[in-house]
Amino acid sequence: MGAIPGIDDVELEWLAAQLGIDADGELRVQPVGSGQVANCHRLTMTASDGTHVHVIAKSPSLDEVSRSTAAMQHLYLRETSFYRELADSITTRTPECFFVERNEDDDFLILLEDMSPARDVDQFDGLDLEMARRGLEQLAGLHGPTTGRADVHNAAWLGGVAQNLKPLYDAVLPALFQSFLERYVDDIDQATTDFVAYLGEHLGAFTNYEVYAPCVTHGDFRTDNLLFDAKGGEVPLCVVDWQTIGVGSQMLDVAYFLTTSLTTDERERHEDELLDYYLERLSTHGVELPRDVARSEFARYTLQPVIMLVCAAVLVERTERGDRMFLSMIERGIAAATKWNAFAEMSTHAPA
């Protein structure tokens, strides 16, 4: 077996060695999750003392479209590098990583702590206030320790990837917006069509922006990537799926989280309180973000879920649940962006 085994090549002895245990019997492999860009399996074995040991193995997608999407955006590079280089230096709760490797062909394997059982929270139902506060506390644990960390921001796998991808995004994003409008022509109303079309024509004003205090961002911080009451309630919240990690504004994650993971009614009812709560938690890490700056950047980044999900909708393997998720989250993003006058905020700080 090579240094990076495929999921079908993992052997009991090798796995036990990675975890530092003695194991007997057979290795059981079971698919878990509904990820569209990578595959996850639960690996189960019996330790020599008779206890069952479970780990989660994450590996490349078998779908050619999803895998090419991952390669184009360096998703596997970013996630493997996160667990290797950054996970131990933040306070955000992530699964313990037992093994992580990736090669130049973008083959990879990550062995992670199994956080099940966790509370089942449907993305479409949305979070309540207490769960939203948990999420914001975990975001502060990522943003605070990485704000101003130029050594991290400039790493080849993080800032270097962003610099490499910018010309590609500038060239490709308008076409993806057009593809979205064509694919979902029968599924979206005229107001959504007009909003997406306008945003697609003004992407440069959104992307060419210098944030107030850059930090490391998760990039896809929403309910499907959060494990509440993990390990049977032992862990209040664990954050997974670090493939879209980048450098940017704290409000990129905060706006994306609140607009996609709360229903529109819940967000509008609690967003002022939640924004203030986030800033208080961020301050415990020694980062003081002025409230007016935070609200200005929050307004701008209510557009982030629309941009990200419009593109994702046409780049990954199409499924019924995926379509429902993308369109629902985009609808929530548009509602937030409209309330916060995001286009006006974007124009105010557009490049000269």
| All structural domains of the chain | 7-113 (3.30.200.20), 129-348 (3.90.1200)
Residue 350 is predicted with a pLDDT of: 59
Tokens of 195: 């909003």
The answer to whether the beta carbons of residues 224 and 305 sit under 8 Å apart is no
pLDDT at 210 over 50: yes
Buried b (16+ CB within 10 A) or exposed e, 298-318: bbbbbbbbbbbbbbbbbbbee
pLDDT at 318 over 90: no
* pLDDT tens profile 253-301: 999 999 999 999 999 999 999 999 999 999 999 999 999 999 999 999 9
pLDDT at 2 over 70: no
| Phi, psi of 216, deg, nearest 5 | -80, 135
Range 121-125 average pLDDT: 86
Tokens of 89: 């230096």
Q: Of how many residues is the chain composed?
A: 352
